[in-house]
Amino acid sequence: MKYYLTYILFLICSISFSQNIDDKRDLLINNLCKILTKNKNLNDLESVNLVNQDVSLVEYFKDFSKEEIQAEEEAIFYRFQKNCKEYTDIIRKFSEKNNENWINLENLPKSTINKKEYKLIKSASELYYFDYEGDKTIVKIENNNWIEYFIDESFSKLKLHWENNYDFNLEFLESNNSMKKSFSRKGEKYKYRILSKENNYYWIAYYAKDLSTIVKFKLYIQ
């Protein structure tokens, strides 16, 4: 009995610590994002330098050992892209290149798929897409779970929710992929729309709730 009580206490403390770190990270990112918002008159390099030199960033890393700093920097980098549009815009400029699989949009298009095309993709159990770097990601759908398998053999698991014949969202559950687990927290949802059916793929739009970010990508049936 003593062992189980100790184990339960350990789990509670571990979960509490993890949530505390997540909250502190999001608070830091929110503050750093305000710096970018307030200094839009500066060029991108000057804005990034302001963020890197901010005292709150220095204070934040005082709580981490040298061994932990690199992993935390990576977590902040990915989470920053999700929670701060200004930062995402800068990153896109630096990494911008021709990419036929991922295209930024100004507005959210209407869907043009018909019932037959909708039934085809909804009944599929295995899909795939190419990420921005061109690496193939396999998607398996099992009991409304959307499970992604990446080139490094890591995975992400999300819950698939259909809203209608062309809109759906994915609720993040868990991941052991360094980018995905830093980018998302359990329970966060992402909105998607099936835009059209081409010869051997569908155009899918990922978009933020406020439509500040809209990107379309190609999704293939395996």
The backbone region for 82, taken as left when phi is positive above 0, alpha when psi lies in -120 to 50, beta otherwise, is alpha
Segment 14-42 shows an average pLDDT of 80
* Residue-range domain boundaries for the chain: 2-95, 102-221
Q: Is the pLDDT of residue 71 over 70?
A: yes
SS3 state at 131: coil
Give pLDDT, residue 14: 41
Q: What is the chain's percent helix, strand, coil content, to nearest 5?
A: 45, 25, 30
Q: Exposed, middle or buried by CB within 10 Å (0-12, 13-18, 19+), for 117?
A: middle
Look at 219 and 60; give whichever has higher pLDDT: 219
For the whole model, what pTM was predicted? 0.74
Residue 98's pLDDT band, with cuts at 50, 70 and 90, is: low
Sign of torsion over alpha carbons 208, 209, 211, 214: positive
User: Which residue bears the tokens 């978009």?
Assistant: 207
Rounded Cα distance, 99 and 95, in Å:
11
User: Which residue bears the tokens 């206490």?
Assistant: 9
Rounded Cα distance, 188 and 142, in Å:
20
Residue 84, both tokens: 């701060």
Q: Is the pLDDT of residue 74 over 80?
A: yes
Give pLDDT, residue 220: 97
Q: Is the pLDDT of residue 61 over 50?
A: yes
What's the chain's average pLDDT?
Answer: 86
Give pLDDT, residue 96: 58
Look at 163 and 53; give whichever has higher pLDDT: 163
